[in-house]
Amino acid sequence: MKKITFVFLTFFALSQLSAQETENYTQQKNYKEWVRIAPKFEDSFFQTKEARRIGDNVLLYQQTTGGWPKNIYMPAELDKKAYAAVLKDQKNVNESTIDNNATTTEIQYLARLFQATQDNKYKEAVLKGIQYLLDAQYPNGGWPQFYPRPTGYYIQITYNDNAMVRVLNQLREIYENKAPYTFLSDKIREQARTSFDKGIECILNTQVRQNGKLTVWCAQHDRETLEPCKARAYELPSLSGQESDNIVLLLLSLPSPSERIINSIEGSIEWFKRSEIKGLQKEFFTNSDGKKDYRMVPCENCPPLWARFYDLETNRPFFCDRDGVKRYDLSEIGIERRTGYSWYNSDGSKVLQKYEQWKKKLDKK
Would you write out the chain's pLDDT as a tens digit for each of its 365 residues? 344 334 434 433 443 444 344 334 433 458 889 999 999 999 999 999 999 999 999 999 999 999 999 999 999 998 988 888 888 777 777 899 999 999 999 999 999 999 999 999 999 999 999 999 999 999 999 999 999 988 999 999 999 999 999 999 999 999 999 999 999 999 999 999 999 999 999 999 999 999 999 999 999 999 999 999 999 999 999 999 999 999 999 999 999 999 999 999 999 999 999 999 999 999 999 999 999 999 999 999 999 999 999 999 999 999 999 999 999 999 999 999 999 999 999 999 999 999 999 999 988 77
> What is the CATH code for 1-206?
1.50.10.20
Please say whether the beta carbons of 105 and 34 come within 8 A. Answer: yes
- Considering the candidates 189, 232, 337, 338, report the single residue annotated as catalytic: 232
Instruction: Specify whether 232 is catalytic.
Output: yes
Detail the DSSP E strand segments found in 208-331. 209-210, 213-214, 220-221, 239-240, 280-286, 292-298, 306-307, 309-310, 319-320, 326-327
The residues spanned by each domain of the chain are 1-206, 208-365
Please say whether the beta carbons of 34 and 61 come within 8 A. Answer: no
Same fold, 1-206 and 208-365: yes
**Taking the model in full, what pTM does it have?**
0.90
Task: Mention every residue, 6+ apart, whose C-beta is less than 8 A from residue 197.
Answer: none
How much is the pLDDT for 363? 84
- Considering the candidates 24, 71, 94, 100, report the single residue annotated as catalytic: 100
Instruction: Specify whether 53 is catalytic.
Output: no
State which CATH number among 3.40.50.300, 1.50.10.20, 1.10.645.10, 3.30.70.260 fits the domain covering 208-365: 1.50.10.20
